[in-house]
Structure 1
Amino acid sequence: MSLFAKQPFTVLGLFGLIVASPALAQSPAVPSMSQNLPALSVGQVVLNAGATFAGSNEPIRSGLVWRIFEDRGDASQPNIVARSTSPAPSFTLSPGNYIVHVAYGFASASKRISVQRGNLNERLAINAGALQLKGAVSGSPIPANRLTFSVYVPEAQNSEGRLVIADAKANDMIRLPEGTYHVVSTYGDANAIMRSDLKVESGRVTEATLNHRAATVTLKLVGSAGGEAFAGTAFSVLTPGGDVIREAIGAFPSVTLAEGEYVLIARHEGKVYTREFKVESGLDRDIEIIATP
């Protein structure tokens, strides 16, 4: 199921997904390329560089990494002669041929240039936008430290696609080339996973909240209902079909699980105890096994 944010600040809710797509925030104006030029030695040239979003010519004011390579015109590895993270850098170069490369996250643009004398102004257009991702359960935000996101480029005959970035955090600005991406959101470290396809548009941030149907349960082996948990207990959480979802050791380990039915096995001092339980979305609770004689 794909859901694309088409208009600025439109909020949509469908199949656990909320999406908005405001324009990329701009910081204060970048100084003119003609200002603060470096002093030149005889025979040197100044290259004033800048980048814009493709299709809008809106200047990109943050998140850029510039590299200037010497263009040798052959298959050998080019040498980096200059680099900068300024939004509008000025490079002092000797006359010659160069490759200008600018990266904006996972998007980039490059251009071959020849500099001989005076000042040269170059603007590169980058076809890129960004994703900013969050998570929620039962309408409540999930703490950022409980979430990770993986982003994939869909490929033919591949249900998930090629991995672009793994373990991105909530609220990160993930800068990407324009296109459609498959996003996997993991809540906790077990099976609470949500997926969605999102579209990145040039010059815009696609904000998405993935709604999980999950809850966090605390596992306990006790002598009686509400009693003190036994330390050193080994727990296994299984599906009704017997697939192991999570294993943990301790008095009361916690695990975040997708909504559904499970079997809990507890092992303590050579004895094994079991019970079935159900996880309901947004209902965090204790799951106790009573150690019967």
Structure 2
Amino acid sequence: MRRKIEAARRRRNWLFPLLLPLVAAALANGAAFGQAMPFAGASPAPPPIDAFSAPPALGTNPGLRTTPQGQAPSREPHAVLPPAPAGKTTVGVFARFSADGPAIPHGLMWRVFADTPEASGAFPLVAESTDPAPVFFLNPGGYIVHVTYGFSTAAQRLQVGAVARREQFVLPAGGLRLEADVESKIIPGQKLTFDIYEGSFLQGRTSTQPYYRGANAGDVVLLPEGTYHVVSTYGDANAVVRADVNVQAGKLTDATFHHRAAQIVLKLVAEKGGDAQANTQWSVVTPGGDTIKESIGALPTVVLSEGDYTAIARNDGKVISRDFKVEAGKDREVEVINK
């Protein structure tokens, strides 16, 4: 199957138990760190994409048309910190895509934990915020500050004294937005699924389990920067296209997968152009005998990659078959005549 991919770089909460390993690691290291969090549950809603600026010029990665974005200048957060109530200290936090990049303007989830666990082993949650650059008023003492942006996350240990302070976090994350077409015609999103794997398939180092399963067409998935292997499935049979995609910090990658497939409606009729016969069992097989799809009904629809197939219909004790050919983008009916 021919496979191509174009990409243009333009531009949650996790359950409390999932945070505990990060808190413990921050306590051990006493320094900032970043870690990819595993996918658990349904697809998160995509955040607004204006965290990423508009694109400039073409890159040189074979099979990918890329437009790395310029970083939009942003106002320095917490240039002036507000005074804290008596007995408290002001701590302002914010995050950047890189050490010298712009501040991330939204989509962040902040949590502040005490750095001493309770008897149960849990670290007490002191404060949380979804503001891009929140200010916390904290009692002097030790804390772990944890921030999440999509699937990118970091934690840092803070020792708060009597003097107000501002803390910067670096979250090297980017956005990935996926779609697919057939013969330059965009495929409706409800007919597509995308699975995202860490690593490069071309270099033989992709993960075996999806990092993000079932991404929807058009959604922006926020990922730690790096290389990902994306599998695009059109329908639920054999129309599958895969490619490696690079995600860069602070940039949005739009990736369009090109399928070579068509929608086929199977129809058992008594004569050409006749009505479809109900209660028909269908099998679609390859010339080599591999079963691609099975279904029951008068007019089942199946999406197939281009190539040669045989439709086998079973109805009222009879078995009838017909060979047919699928051409990319040419949706059609395949009639099997019940003689």
TM range (shorter): 0.7 to 0.9
What's 1:23 paired with? 69
1:249 match: 296
Match of 1:181 among 228, 236, 240: 228
Match of 1:53 in 2: 97
Residues 275 and 32 of structure 1, relative CA distance in 2, 3 Å threshold:
same
CA positional deviation for 1:40: 4.4
What amino acid is the match of 1:63?
Answer: G
Residue 151 (1) aligns with residue 196 (2): yes
CA distance in 2, matches of 1:143, 1:24: 31
Regions of 4+ moved over 3 Å: 1-15, 17-26, 28-37, 73-77, 155-162
1:110 aligns with 155
Task: State which of 215, 229, 242 in structure 2 corresponds to 1:168.
Answer: 215
CA distance in 2, matches of 1:97, 1:118: 14
SS in 2 for 1:163: coil
Report if the CA contact (8 A) 1:178-1:202 is conserved: yes
Partner of 1:277: 324
State the match for 2:14 in structure 1.
Answer: none
1:236 equivalent to 2:280? Answer no
The one-letter code matched in structure 2 to 1:66 is W
Residues 232, 242 of structure 2: 8 Å contact kept: yes
Root-mean-square deviation (CA), in Å?
A: 3.1
Output the CA distance in 2 between the equivalents of 1:195 and 1:251: 33
CA gap of 1:265–1:290, structure 2 versus 1, over 3 A, is same
Paired residue total: 289
Secondary structure at 2:210's aligned position in 1? strand
Deviations 1:64-84 (A, max 9, x none): 111112112899442222222
CA shift, 1:197, in A, is 0.5
Gaps of 5+ in 1: none
Supply the AA of the counterpart residue of 2:172.
N
**Are the counterparts in 2 of residues 19 and 209 from structure 1 also a CA contact under 8 Å?**
no
Length-normalised TM-score, structure 2:
0.76
SS in 1 for 2:190: helix
Structure 1 counterpart of 2:238, from 191, 194, 197? 191
CA distance in 2, matches of 1:258, 1:133: 20
Given the superposition, is the C-alpha separation of residues 34 and 177 from structure 1 closer, same or farther in structure 2, using an over 3 Å criterion? same
Q: Quote the residue 1:96 is aligned against.
A: 141
Cα 1:19–1:55, aligned 2, differ >3 Å: closer, same or farther? Answer: farther
* TM-aligned CA distance change 1:228 to 1:237, over 3 Å: same
Deviation track 1:16-72 (CA, whole Å, cap 9, x = no partner) reads x6644453997x9779536895x8442112221111011542111122111112112
Q: 1:4 to 1:231 in 2, by over 3 A?
A: closer
Equivalent in the alignment of 1:213: 260
1:67 aligned to 2:111? yes
Q: 2:130 aligns with which of 85, 101, 120?
A: 85
Deviation at 1:143, TM superposition (A): 0.9
Call closer, same or farther: CA 1:131–1:264 in 2, change over 3 Å. Answer: same
Name the CA distance, whole Å, in 1 between partners of 2:59 and 2:183.
Answer: 16
Partners of 2:208 and 2:160 in 1: how far apart?
42
Partner of 1:122: 167
Question: By percentage of residues, which structure has more strand?
Answer: 1
Residue equivalent to 1:139: 184
2:338 is matched with which residue? 291
CA 1:85–1:19: 2 relative to 1, 3 Å: farther
Name the % identity: 42
Separation in 2, partners of 1:268, 1:275: 14
